[in-house]
Amino acid sequence: MLRYTDDMTPFAMAERPSKQYFFLMPLIWLAAFLDTRKIGLKIDKTGMKGIKPPYLVIATHQGPADYSAAPLAMFPHRAVFVSDMEGFAWYGKWLYRGLGCIGKRRFVPDISVVRNMKYAIAKKQAVWVYPESRHSNAGTTAYIPKNMGKLCKTMDVPVVLFTLYGSYLANPFWDELRSRKVPARGQMKLLFSREEVRSKNEREIQAAIEDGLKYNEYDYQLANKIRITESFRAEGLHMPLYMCRKCKQRYKMASHGDILECKACGRHYLLREDGLLEEMGDSREIFRIPDWYEWERETEIKETADEAEAFLMSYDVHVEALPNEKGFVDLGKGKLLMNEKEFTLDINKEVLHFPHKIRESVQTEYDYRGKKGKAIVLSTAKCCYYIYCDDEEFNPTQLQFIGEWLFQKNEGLNDR
């Protein structure tokens, strides 16, 4: 449940992680098994014969089923999981540590997280990380940090890859609280032995991880002839697909039942049972959700680049802080500004700065916990700020696209 407090004391990030409490393990495995029965989860671990902890697990992060699949993939071994701070506030510190979690703030570099991972490895534990740091917005791989090769070299243990297919399709991020009937398949395999980690350079390891984490849930759906028949299957899709593919108007998309529609030009798109979007009317043109999503990204990048120093976005917002495991602190109303250099948050006469050059992505929330509405989350080393806005022209996906590109531009990582 959502808890609230007035305590702004930062969470003790440097506190050593705990092994998963042994007396909780039967309950964890049972709960995970029961939770994944509805998606018929099957995990292929033939690539793990003879492999025992300590090792580093690099996993895809598509949706809620990931959390139940992880302990089943580890069975009969225990693991330590790098997890967002939200989990500590949701479950409480004692229980979340008992589940084996290391606290981290999304998209914020923190050496204490690496030290805690090293500590767990030294205790002969497996350490599980989700490099994407978010559930997939459109069924494809999110940005992968460019330091994964370095992290593997630092851990100096075998590297294992875990991929789960069907997690996003069962609970797409834009309508995550309602499940679709989708079979899920997991694969756990050794990516690098310890000797290979030592012999390869960081770039080689990074490239192999990025390649191993590639997925497209809609390819998986078509290849396996999965039909998603729920009548509500398109509801929420207007959050990642906020720009009409035909008239190119932003913020006018809406969704209901199995229909995505544009309120500006009146076009309707049917989300078919096979996952394809079909324009209704004479055209009957077919669109794929990931392609539409990437078209939006390219459009935002081009227009932001063309605006250059004139680029500015401003919103009236409501802010809740998450400094520690005790819960959220309601900070009230504020102003969010975004320019080519940074986000700034003006709250209670204090101005917080979030430079793009140190933040590889922006955490998006389409309807937080089904209660709070659309938001982005910006964090410092001491606090996460949940920034809500009900303005029609506030779209978390758009801010994510622009924020990621400005990070890459400031870092010189690409020239788009």
Decide if 215 is inside a domain: yes
Residue 42 sits in the same domain as residue 158: yes
pLDDT digits 0-9 by tens, 351-393: 999 999 999 999 999 998 877 899 999 999 999 999 999 999 9
pLDDT exceeds 60 at position 416: no
Residue 55 sits in the same domain as residue 139: yes
Decide if 159 is inside a domain: yes
Single out the residue in 187, 206, 223 at which a domain terminates. 223
Decide if 416 is inside a domain: no
Residue 55 sits in the same domain as residue 197: yes
pLDDT level of residue 1 (50, 70, 90 thresholds)? low
Q: Are strands 363-365 and 375-379 parallel, antiparallel or unpaired?
A: antiparallel
Residue 296 sits in the same domain as residue 317: no
Tell me the residue ranges of DSSP E strands in 209-300. 253-256, 259-262, 268-271, 276-279, 286-288
Q: For residue 82, give Cα distances in angstroms to 121, 221, 239, 400.
A: 13, 29, 28, 22
Q: What is the pTM of this model?
A: 0.94
Confidence at residue 372, expressed as pLDDT on a 0 to 100 scale = 80
Q: How far apart are CA 104 and CA 111, in angstroms?
A: 10
Decide if 13 is inside a domain: no
Confidence at residue 219, expressed as pLDDT on a 0 to 100 scale = 98
pLDDT digits 0-9 by tens, 23-71: 999 999 999 999 999 889 999 999 999 999 999 999 999 999 999 999 9
Single out the residue in 306, 322, 353 at which a domain terminates. 306
Confidence at residue 282, expressed as pLDDT on a 0 to 100 scale = 84
Decide if 15 is inside a domain: no
Helices and strands counted in the chain (H then E): 12, 19
Residue 35 sits in the same domain as residue 149: yes
Give percent helix, percent strand, percent coil of the chain, each to the nearest 5. 30, 25, 40
Decide if 360 is inside a domain: yes
Confidence at residue 181, expressed as pLDDT on a 0 to 100 scale = 93
pLDDT exceeds 70 at position 87: yes
Residue 84 sits in the same domain as residue 146: yes
Taking residues 3-19, report their average pLDDT.
Answer: 92
Decide if 4 is inside a domain: no
Residue 235 sits in the same domain as residue 158: no
Decide if 154 is inside a domain: yes
Confidence at residue 306, expressed as pLDDT on a 0 to 100 scale = 85
Confidence at residue 309, expressed as pLDDT on a 0 to 100 scale = 67
Single out the residue in 306, 323, 349 at which a domain terminates. 306
Residue 258 sits in the same domain as residue 386: no
Confidence at residue 414, expressed as pLDDT on a 0 to 100 scale = 45
CATH code for the domain of 382: 2.30.29.30
The rounded mean pLDDT for the chain is: 94
Full residue range of the structural domain in which residue 324 is found: 311-411
pLDDT digits 0-9 by tens, 162-183: 999 999 999 999 999 999 999 9
Residue 65 sits in the same domain as residue 147: yes
Residue 175 sits in the same domain as residue 256: no
pLDDT exceeds 80 at position 415: no
Closest CA to 70 of 108, 127, 150: 127
Residue 256 sits in the same domain as residue 165: no
Q: How far apart are CA 116 and CA 102, in angstroms?
A: 7
Residue 154 sits in the same domain as residue 236: no
Residue 112: other Cβ atoms inside 10 A: 15
- Total domain count for the chain? 3
